[in-house]
Amino acid sequence: MAKNLYVGNLSYDTTEATLSELFGAFGEVTSINVITDRMTGRAKGFAFVEMADDSAAREAVSKLNGQVVDARTIRVEEARPRRPRGDFSGGRDRY
């Protein structure tokens, strides 16, 4: 089953190709999504990497978390599930 990983503290210059090479050393990478600002198109400094195999994803987390990439110490961990969009109350009731 595919495993989605959060990669944080990225340099604004880190590309999908860089991440593909980095994570590809541990197993098959099925997708990479470098998050960008909608207005400027500039990277926001984090990305999501989806790996095909759970064991490869666990190995990538253990080996890459805390490593220096493009002069930044990156943070790699399992991505949390997305919250539903449109709920701006922060979980509180309206009244």
Instruction: Report pLDDT digits (tens) over 32-66.
Output: 999 999 999 999 999 999 999 999 999 999 999 99
Q: Is the residue at 74 inside a domain?
A: yes
Q: 65 lies in which domain range?
A: 3-78
- What's the total number of domains in the chain? 1
Q: Is the residue at 36 inside a domain?
A: yes
Residue 38 CB neighbour total at 10 angstroms:
5
Q: Is the residue at 93 inside a domain?
A: no
Task: pLDDT band for 88, please (50, 70, 90 cuts).
Answer: low
Determine the straight-line distance between the first and last CA of the chain, rounded to whole angstroms: 42
pTM above 0.75, yes or no: yes
Q: Is the residue at 95 inside a domain?
A: no
Domain of residue 58, CATH code: 3.30.70.330
pLDDT at 36: 95
Amino acid, res. 23: F
Determine what percent of the chain falls in helix, strand and coil, rounding each to the nearest 5: 20, 35, 45
